[in-house]
Amino acid sequence: MLYQGFVKSYDIQIFPSNSTGPYGYTRVVALTGTFGLASLSFIPAGRPIPPGSKRPGSSDPDIFDLFWPLDDYSAIVDLLRNEKPIAFYFDDTDQSIGVTTYDPEPVGENEGDVRLRRVRNP
């Protein structure tokens, strides 16, 4: 079944790189939106990435436990911080997951002065 909707807010959790929890994730991005709640857990290279799922028995809201390679963490955070609107989808029939801009984005839509985003060396 395909679950989808708009992201309204997000929360970031960071754990030590040597974390040995049940799935070995070190970063979590929790999304809240019209689809329910989605926990995107990011797994470091070399650790197995379990399949994602809708949490059994969850409804109103639906809760999703999803796993991604740690290499994707920065891109997801960048998207959430710099774009809007953002959509989420999860299809439990083929395990496809996405966090995307909702409509085609116009080039140079004036999302801020990139010079302000640069880190300056002291």
3-state secondary structure (DSSP) of residue 101: strand
User: Bridge partners of 64?
Assistant: 38, 54
Per-residue pLDDT at 42: 93
Note if the pTM is more than 0.95. no
How far apart are the C-alpha atoms of 3 and 90, rounded to whole Å?
A: 5
Among all chains, which residue has been given the structure tokens 């799922």? 53
Question: Per-block average pLDDT, block size 10, for the chain (122 residues)?
Answer: 96 86 85 97 91 92 95 94 92 93 70 44 40
- Pairing between strand 86-91 and 63-69? unpaired
Domain boundaries, the chain: 2-117
E-strand stretches of 15-55: 27-33, 36-43, 53-54
